[in-house]
Structure 1
Amino acid sequence: MATPTAEPTARKRRRKTRTKNISPLPALVASDFTASQIDLTPGKEHVFCPACENWTPITGVLGTPVLVPHHTTPYHDPTTTPRRCSNTNRRITLDTVIDTWRAELAERTQASATVASRRPTKVLPKPKAHAAPAASQLKPAPLSAEQVRRVFRQHQEQCLACRGEAKNQNGQTLPCPDGERLAVTVLRLFRQEPKRQALREFFARERRRFDREYAGAAPKREAGWAAVLPAVQNADQLRRAVPQDARPTEGRPEIPLDHLVPRQAPAQPEKGRLKCEYCSATESSLADAVAAGWCRIIRRPHCGRCANRFPAWTRTSF
Structure 2
Amino acid sequence: MATTTVEPKARKRRRKTRTKNISPLPPLVASHFKADQINLTPGKENVLCPSCETWTPITGVLGTPVLVPHHTTPYHDRTATPRRCSNTNRRIALDIAADAWREQLVERAEVSASVASRRSTKVLPKPKSTPAPAASQIRPVPLNAEQVRRTFRQHQERCLACKGEATDRNGQTLPCPDGERLAITFLRLFRQEPKRQAVREFFARERRRFDREYTKAASTREAGWAAVLPAVQSADQLRRTVPQAMRPAEGPEVPRVRLAPRQAAEQPVGGQLRCERCGATETSLAGAVATGWCRITRRPHCGRCAARFPAWTRTSF
Q: TM-score, normalised by structure 1?
A: 0.40
Q: Going by fraction, where is helix more abundant, 1 or 2?
A: 2
Q: TM-score, normalised by structure 2?
A: 0.40
